[in-house]
Amino acid sequence: MNGKAYVAKRFWEIGDGPEKVSRQKNADNLVAEFKRIKQAAWFLSQFCERAKEIGVEIAQAKEDPADLETSPASATAIEWDNAQPPFWLIEPLRSSSITRYNGTLVHAQLPGKIGQTILAFVHYVYLASKRDMVLADIQSELNITGEFLFDIMTHTKSGLSGVGDHGKTGITAFVRQHVCQDICKNLGFRNPMKKGTGNKGKGKKHVVEDDSDESDSGGEDTDTSEEEVDQLDK
């Protein structure tokens, strides 16, 4: 289409039983995936704007929106049955050069400017969503304009954002594993669990409100307290 190669995606089986995915379930899953793409694109634009305002240099990345003929809201309202053709999500064909930055429940430290930017972006979304969302399974491909992110998974407190949402377990994995590196610190973010020397960032304007309490012991105040993590674990 338009001189570009695309792939069409649908859900056939998602590991929750021997039966094939119904047309309705397939449509619901694809709409949820499209919503994730649009959410990530919005958060990424806000993240880049924050970095620009504060004067923090980051790698250039874009969320590559999938193509969808029907809006997420109207697609959700459609009732599908086995007599109708299946619902598809159209995406650009990816190159064979793919980089993965985190796993479903793994958030390791990453070297280099691109890796640090991705980790800081994940941290930003956690804070901007009021600790309700964590991005996972982030992949990208590189072209002449920068890194394009795709197939992003989300974990939410409700556990209802789509296939692979591990709910509070997924959020807890990020909180316990994430360690802020230079870009995080320059943006004014703090390690979710680790204590140390505080860093309030290079700039004065902060888009994300961080209402966590400071440590009484004189260590660094953190984004998430042990008590809050305990509540997530329950």
pLDDT tens for each residue of 129-183: 999 999 999 998 877 666 788 889 999 999 999 999 999 999 999 999 999 999 9
* E-assigned strand segments in the chain: 6-9, 61-63, 89-92, 98-100, 133-136, 139-143, 146-150, 153-156
The pLDDT value recorded for residue 230 is 56
CA distance 64 to 76: 22
Determine the Cα–Cα distance for residues 224 and 227; give it in Å rounded to an integer.
8
**Fold (CATH) for 6-203+220-233:** Protein kinase-like fold (3.20.200)
Q: How confident is the model at residue 111, as a pLDDT?
A: 87
Question: What average pLDDT score do residues 194-220 get?
Answer: 41
Question: Are 191 and 229 in contact, with CB atoms under 8 Å apart?
Answer: no
Does the pLDDT of residue 127 top 50, yes or no? yes
Which residue's structure tokens are 């989300």?
154
pLDDT reported for residue 229: 53
In this prediction the pTM is 0.74
Mean of per-residue pLDDT scores for the chain:
78
Residues in the chain, total: 234
Q: What's the pLDDT tens digit per position in 5-28? A: 888 888 877 666 556 788 888 889
Between CA 178 and CA 185 the distance in angstroms is: 13
